């Protein structure tokens, strides 16, 4: 392949000029080079120089007439932004590690040293930016061949590579998943041997990799690899607990680990939404905790949706996933994931549909997607039947939403108005009235409008012993009309 083609941008020629002028060798290295071969050009460039990365970056910035440079003197790196490009400069380095930390002792090194410290052969490719051999590929570990064969492999002894920086084990799994590559057997075996070292990696780093894995085409691959290598036990033991099948009286339940990963892939084929993918992964997380064998009924996981929703915050906290509305969303999906199924099994009443719309709100479409992905029966007829039922539920959802607008339910009568009407301060009764109105709307006793809600407020107020002190006669409709 003619690599000069991919080094046409002004940035590369300026780096090349600076390298010539300063008499310092410079190379593009790592992800950018890898992605050329994978035909997915990126705007992140890593440049390694045989000298000071910071000084070099300063000179490049001057020639590009940009001031958007950040210098990290302590790390000897500099980051330069130029239009949509993000260029990082670093001096070539040699690294040595201690047992208790991912942080290496760093010395200046040669290009070879720098390639040796890279995580995988496919990430150790370098392209020369020097005038004498501009565009030449330096590939000491046969990385291009690994790219062709689809192989993740460490440049040096994998045991040392992973022991030095255990994050690389997770990066191996992530790259394999993202690129649909195989991890070379010796490398895979080394991960198995070194899996306990993952303990020195921060939760933030781990979760970064998990999220990249989760946004891949087929995220199940990553979770299978994590399990196979024993990393999963350290990262998410709650998920390992889903593995396996138990039998009693010749009745067995399905393997919830396999089922969950099938659901995750089904869902991922339909949606890129990272949080919905997490919800798919965690939707049955409480099945081990709620599993019972009941004579005459077989295996049950009663209440696993509620117990599961309760487990979400601690899992998110441990993984350092955000504890904000994203978490609430995942919780909601886990808690509601059986509702459309239950709904489709019974006769679909308007009232049940309204309640589901109310509880799911704007996330109803996501919830329906998750539920459809949750159908993993091997029996074609069963799958067809469930999907047909879901179509009925969807149709009904649409009809009711058009009629009653429940999705973004706003109480038609406010707490303020209730207090003004009955001359009361905030108290339990206000809540009682509001709930009665909400329930009446969801149950279809009244429509979702102000006049009907206003009259119900007066009625309920009187029932619970309140006397109105201010009534707006314009809205009053006599009871027996």
| Region binding ligand ATP by CB under 6 A among candidate stretches 103-111, 118-126, 248-256, 300-308 | 118-126
* Number of chain positions touching ligand ATP (CB under 6 A): 10
Identify which of residues 108 and 376 has a Cβ nearer to ligand ATP in the complex: 108
> What is the closest distance, in whole angstroms, from the C-beta atom of residue 72 to Mg ion in the complex?
16
Identify which of residues 32 and 278 has a Cβ nearer to Mg ion in the complex: 32
Alpha-carbon gap, residue 179 to 170, rounded angstroms: 14
Alpha-carbon gap, residue 448 to 452, rounded angstroms: 8
Chain position whose Cβ is nearest to ligand ATP: 31
| Whole-number Cα distances in Å, 159 to 113, 146, 186, 226, 374 | 18, 19, 9, 17, 39
| Region binding ligand ATP by CB under 6 A among candidate stretches 65-73, 116-124, 146-154, 235-243 | 116-124
Residue 165 contact, options Mg ion, ligand ATP, none, Cβ 5-8 Å cut-off depending on partner type: ligand ATP
Alpha-carbon gap, residue 171 to 209, rounded angstroms: 7
Identify which of residues 50 and 370 has a Cβ nearer to ligand ATP in the complex: 50
According to the binding rule CB under 5 A, does residue 44 interact with Mg ion?
Answer: yes
According to the binding rule CB under 6 A, does residue 53 interact with ligand ATP?
Answer: no
Identify which of residues 115 and 421 has a Cβ nearer to Mg ion in the complex: 115
Identify which of residues 175 and 301 has a Cβ nearer to ligand ATP in the complex: 175
According to the binding rule CB under 6 A, does residue 167 interact with ligand ATP?
Answer: yes
Q: What tokens appear for 198 in the block?
A: 């993952």
| Region binding ligand ATP by CB under 6 A among candidate stretches 16-24, 164-172, 228-236, 412-420 | 164-172
> What is the closest distance, in whole angstroms, from the C-beta atom of residue 107 to ligand ATP in the complex?
16
According to the binding rule CB under 6 A, does residue 266 interact with ligand ATP?
Answer: no
> What is the closest distance, in whole angstroms, from the C-beta atom of residue 44 to ligand ATP in the complex?
6
Identify which of residues 31 and 444 has a Cβ nearer to Mg ion in the complex: 31
> What is the closest distance, in whole angstroms, from the C-beta atom of residue 235 to ligand ATP in the complex?
17
Q: Of these, 153, 168, 386, 434, which contacts ligand ATP (CB under 6 A)?
A: 168
According to the binding rule CB under 5 A, does residue 107 interact with Mg ion?
Answer: no
According to the binding rule CB under 6 A, does residue 207 interact with ligand ATP?
Answer: no
According to the binding rule CB under 6 A, does residue 119 interact with ligand ATP?
Answer: yes
According to the binding rule CB under 6 A, does residue 330 interact with ligand ATP?
Answer: no
Query: Site map for Mg ion, 20-39, x if CB under 5 A?
Result: -----------x--------
According to the binding rule CB under 6 A, does residue 46 interact with ligand ATP?
Answer: yes
Identify which of residues 38 and 338 has a Cβ nearer to ligand ATP in the complex: 38
> What is the closest distance, in whole angstroms, from the C-beta atom of residue 215 to ligand ATP in the complex?
11
Footprint on this chain of ligand ATP (rule: CB under 6 A): 30-31, 44, 46, 118-119, 123, 165, 167-168
Footprint on this chain of Mg ion (rule: CB under 5 A): 31, 44
């Amino acid at each position: 392949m003619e690599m000069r083609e991919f080094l046409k941008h002004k940035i590369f020629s300026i780096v090349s000029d600076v390298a010539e002028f300063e008499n310092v060798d410079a190379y593009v290295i790592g992800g950018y080079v890898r992605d050329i071969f994978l035909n997915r050009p990126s705007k992140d460039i890593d440049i390694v120089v045989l000298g000071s990365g910071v000084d070099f970056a300063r000179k490049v910035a001057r020639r590009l007439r940009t001031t958007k440079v950040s210098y990290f003197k302590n790390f000897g790196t500099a980051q330069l932004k130029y239009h949509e490009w993000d260029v990082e400069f670093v001096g070539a380095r040699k690294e040595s590690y201690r047992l208790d930390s991912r942080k290496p002792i760093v010395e200046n090194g040669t290009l070879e040293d720098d390639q040796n410290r890279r995580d995988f052969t496919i990430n150790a490719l370098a392209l020369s930016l020097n005038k004498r051999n501009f565009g030449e590929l330096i590939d000491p570990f046969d990385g291009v061949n690994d790219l062709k064969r689809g192989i993740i492999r460490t440049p040096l002894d994998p045991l040392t590579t992973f022991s030095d920086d255990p994050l690389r084990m997770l990066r191996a799994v992530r790259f394999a998943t993202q690129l649909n590559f195989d991890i070379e057997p010796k490398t895979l075996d080394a991960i198995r041997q070194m899996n306990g070292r993952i303990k020195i990696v921060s939760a933030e780093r781990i979760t970064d990799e998990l999220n990249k894995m989760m946004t891949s085409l087929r995220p199940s691959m990553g979770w299978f690899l994590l399990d196979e290598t024993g990393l999963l036990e350290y990262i998410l033991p709650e998920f390992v607990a889903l593995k396996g099948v138990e039998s009693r009286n010749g009745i067995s339940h399905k393997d919830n680990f396999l089922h969950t990963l099938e659901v995750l892939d089904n869902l991922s084929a339909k949606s890129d939404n990272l949080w919905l993918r997490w919800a798919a992964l965690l939707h049955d997380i409480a099945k081990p905790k709620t599993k019972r064998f009941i004579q005459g009924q077989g295996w049950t996981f009663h209440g696993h949706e509620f117990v599961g929703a309760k487990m979400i915050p601690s899992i998110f906290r441990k993984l350092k996933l955000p504890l904000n509305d994203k978490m609430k969303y995942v919780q909601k999906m886990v808690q509601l994931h059986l509702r459309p199924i239950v709904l489709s099994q019974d006769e679909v009443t308007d009232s049940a549909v309204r309640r589901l719309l109310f509880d799911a709100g704007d996330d109803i479409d996501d919830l329906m997607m998750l539920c459809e992905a949750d159908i993993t029966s091997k029996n074609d007829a069963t799958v067809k039947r469930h999907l047909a039922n879901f179509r009925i539920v969807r149709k009904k959802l649409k009809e009711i939403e058009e009629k009653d607008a429940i999705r973004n339910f706003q109480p038609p009568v406010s707490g303020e108005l209730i207090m003004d009407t009955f001359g009361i301060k905030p108290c339990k009764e206000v809540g009682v009235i509001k709930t009665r109105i909400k329930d009446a709307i969801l149950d279809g006793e009244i429509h979702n409008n102000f006049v009907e809600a206003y009259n119900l407020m007066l009625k309920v107020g009187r029932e619970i012993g309140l006397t109105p002190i201010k009534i707006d006669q314009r809205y009053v409709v006599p009871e027996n009309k």
